[in-house]
Structure 1
Amino acid sequence: MTVALLATPDSTASTLFGLYDLLSGARRDWQHLINQTSVDAPLLPRIVSRDGQPLRVYNDVLVHAHASLDSMVSADVVIVSDLAISPWAPLDDRYDREAQWMRERYEAGATLASACSGALLLARTGLLKGCEGASHWGYYDCLRREYPEVHWQPDKALVTAGVGQRLVMSGSGSSWHALGLFLIARFVGATEAMEVARMNLLDWDATSPLAYAAMMRTSQLADPVIAHCQEWAAQHYEADAPVAEMVRISGLPERTFQRRFAQATGLSPLDYVHTLRLEEAKQLLESGDLPVEAVAWEVGYQDAGFFGRLFRRKVGMTPAQYRRRFGVLARRLAGVATMQAAAAEPH
């Protein structure tokens, strides 16, 4: 099977080449390592660029394409890897030629897949209308704004959609590992996918991407009154009745304030405060040993039960689960930083 990996100037080399290596090693690498036999790989990845010429992708890495769009007219699977572009700037028509080529491949029977922010280009094809979609957590606001007819799923690491489930999207960052394993399992076999996972120490992690997401604290200059209220909320999110206080600070009638705040931020004032509080709660859970009840109190919730339910709904796990998963990581990283600082001190 031929797998076309679409390369653009905004592709990242890590995802592009990572998928290339993962797919090309299915069955072949395991048999070579375990049974000392040489077998043909069942998947044939090919890097495809607009004109087939070498191109520099993001971070100035030179990529040599195997084929151009015009010459790659037969592909069983097409994958667009992540796009390192701002989520606040529309994609516009810069990759419309690639989008048209992807539509043509889909109409010819190919499966289309995207990794991470590559969903921006997959959505540009128009094939996701009425379907579920997944992308990097930092791009959902942009995607909802540009493609409101798609049912974006920020809590899912992998989504399949469309006729015959031939549209496949993975979520944030290294979820491309899950995309690669999924495609191998689907088109080669579960055994081969498991072999690749064991060879590369990959885990199809069940943790919701929401647990990794951080609030996108974007400054908005269109409404300075609301911007002033955002600044106040960032410093006083734990206060009693913060929404009422923001209404007072704004000097606006409450209904007008609610409407303007939602227009400026995409969130209601209360949801905005909840997001600020939960982001701080994440930091406290990662870095310290405060009981969950004390964390709730610190960020402005007197009812620890309500805090726990809200945290689970918004983050995808309980506060205790979050601490177990990310507290260990935070301590390990802090230990590495401390070790490096100690090594740098003169003796």
Structure 2
Amino acid sequence: MSDANARLTVALLAVPESTASTLYGMYDVLASAGRDWDFLVAGRPGQSLIRPLIVSADGRGFRAVSGLRVEPECALDACPAVDVVAIPDLMVAPEEELSGRYTAEVEWLRQRYAAGATLAAACSGALVLAEAGLLDGQDSTTHWGYCEAMAARYPKTRVHPNRALVISGEGRLILGGGGTSWQDVTLFLIARFLGTEEAMRVARLHLVNWHDVGQQPYAALTRGRQVEDALIAKCQEWIALHYDEDTPVAAMARLSGLPERSFKRRFARATGMSPIAYVHTLRLEESKHVLETTELPIDAVANEVGYEDASFFGRLFRRQVGLTPAQYRKRFGALRRVLEQGERRAPAAPPRGRLAS
């Protein structure tokens, strides 16, 4: 390890688009390794086994996108030798152009990787590694909302949308998926360098749950797809209300006034999906809501969203969502109930613009 006390040094790369909660969350969890367990159970603080460092291109303070002030500890050219570089997630749009934005950071990452450092990225932070070319020919992941754009912009990387954690580059590239995947990345780093037992202590301290089911159950199957074709947009609006029709594709074709074969080609060209795949995503998204909010039997849920064959619905749901309908209901129905109870018990909010007395 890289300093005199044999502590693991982890540089946290900060840019103006960094999410401050992830940046400082990673900092605090890493710094707690070796230090806080003994303090909690024996009343005496231990020695932190990790030295986290916030670094930025010029080392100057800035306001992150949330408005929180970030004070880096050093500039890239003054950063000491590090064992690990971690990149928190970025508040950028999935389609946003990043080319040329992080020139200094990209070059520094290449140098650190060539020097033997392990590189880790949480969520959309993976885009910076991709911009550096370090994911070329490698398996990768990022937040499910960014996967399509990342695969299109960086076609040399193999993007796995369903996985919450990907280890690549002979073990020196570690990528987490969704927003709180920084916890998975951080625990993995602690386990890799300090051992499983220390990682388990940290997980217990911070009540961290491993995202063992991946990203699929959390993903919105239907995401906004820009459609410039007004005719297809009209069909999309119609199917959003009539997805449970018996023959939805034929119905959309009739609405379009096109022969069915021509309609299918035009729909796929406009949306990137076949009409029937689009219908399935709408139905499954609605079924998730029904499973969360009702106690309807699974076959009734299937029928509610347009499937007469409940077994087909179950297989399709499992393939697309990563859980069976019953498993999804157990995981997310319980969460919704707890949140709704909290909402009902909350005191009424004061009128906007008025201070509470």
TM-score (norm 1): 0.94
Does residue 132 of structure 1 match 2:178?
no
Counterpart code for 2:332: F
Instruction: For 2:130 and 2:222, locate their aligned partners in 1 and report how far apart those are by CA, in whole Å.
Output: 22
The question of whether the paired residues in 2 share the 8 Å contact of 1:219 and 1:227 is answered with: no
Structure 2 unaligned spans of 5+: 1-7, 351-357
How many angstroms does 1:149 deviate by? 2.4
Instruction: For 2:127 and 2:151, locate their aligned partners in 1 and report how far apart those are by CA, in whole Å.
Output: 11
Does residue 157 of structure 1 match 2:171?
no
Aligned pair partner of 2:219 in 213, 216, 219: 213
How many angstroms does 1:249 deviate by? 2.3
Structure 1 unaligned spans of 5+: none
Does residue 231 of structure 1 match 2:237?
yes
Query: How do 1:35-74 residues align onto structure 2 when only pairs under 5 Å count?
Result: 35-72=42-79, 74=81
1:336 counterpart residue number: 342
The question of whether the paired residues in 1 share the 8 Å contact of 2:227 and 2:271 is answered with: no
Instruction: For 1:103 and 1:171, locate their aligned partners in 2 and report how far apart those are by CA, in whole Å.
Output: 22
Aligned pair partner of 1:147 in 148, 154, 174: 154
1:183 counterpart residue number: 189
Does residue 120 of structure 1 match 2:127?
yes
Q: 1:18 to 1:178 in 2, by over 3 A?
A: same
Instruction: For 1:13 and 1:137, locate their aligned partners in 2 and report how far apart those are by CA, in whole Å.
Output: 20
Query: How do 1:28-39 residues align onto structure 2 when only pairs under 5 Å count?
Result: 28-39=35-46
TM-score (norm 2): 0.91
Aligned pair partner of 1:290 in 292, 296, 299: 296
Query: How do 1:197-208 residues align onto structure 2 when only pairs under 5 Å count?
Result: 197-208=203-214
1:106 counterpart residue number: 113
Q: Alpha-carbon deviations, 1:17-69, whole Å to 9, x = none? A: 00000101101111222234444322111001111000111211101001112
Q: Count how many residue pairs are aligned between Structure 1 and Structure 2.
A: 343
Q: Alpha-carbon deviations, 1:201-243, whole Å to 9, x = none? A: 1121312311011134325242222211211111111111211
Counterpart code for 2:103: D
How big is the alpha-carbon RMSD for the aligned residues of Structure 1 and Structure 2? Answer: 1.7
Q: Which has the larger displacement, 314-323 or 115-124?
A: 115-124
1:271 counterpart residue number: 277
Counterpart code for 1:246: M
Aligned pair partner of 2:328 in 316, 322, 325: 322
Query: How do 1:73-88 residues align onto structure 2 when only pairs under 5 Å count?
Result: 74-88=81-95
Q: Which has the larger displacement, 178-187 or 253-262?
A: 253-262
Counterpart code for 2:209: D
Instruction: For 2:312 and 2:348, locate their aligned partners in 1 and report how far apart those are by CA, in whole Å.
Output: 42
Q: Percent identity of the aligned residues? A: 53
State the SS of the aligned residue for 1:3.
Answer: strand
How many angstroms does 1:126 deviate by? 1.1
The question of whether the paired residues in 2 share the 8 Å contact of 1:215 and 1:279 is answered with: yes
State the SS of the aligned residue for 1:156.
Answer: coil
Instruction: For 1:223 and 1:190, locate their aligned partners in 2 and report how far apart those are by CA, in whole Å.
Output: 53
How many angstroms does 1:343 deviate by? 8.8
The question of whether the paired residues in 2 share the 8 Å contact of 1:208 and 1:315 is answered with: no
State the SS of the aligned residue for 2:145.
Answer: helix
1:22 counterpart residue number: 29
State the SS of the aligned residue for 2:180.
Answer: helix
Aligned pair partner of 1:242 in 248, 254, 257: 248
The question of whether the paired residues in 2 share the 8 Å contact of 1:73 and 1:105 is answered with: no
Instruction: For 2:269 and 2:74, locate their aligned partners in 1 and report how far apart those are by CA, in whole Å.
Output: 45
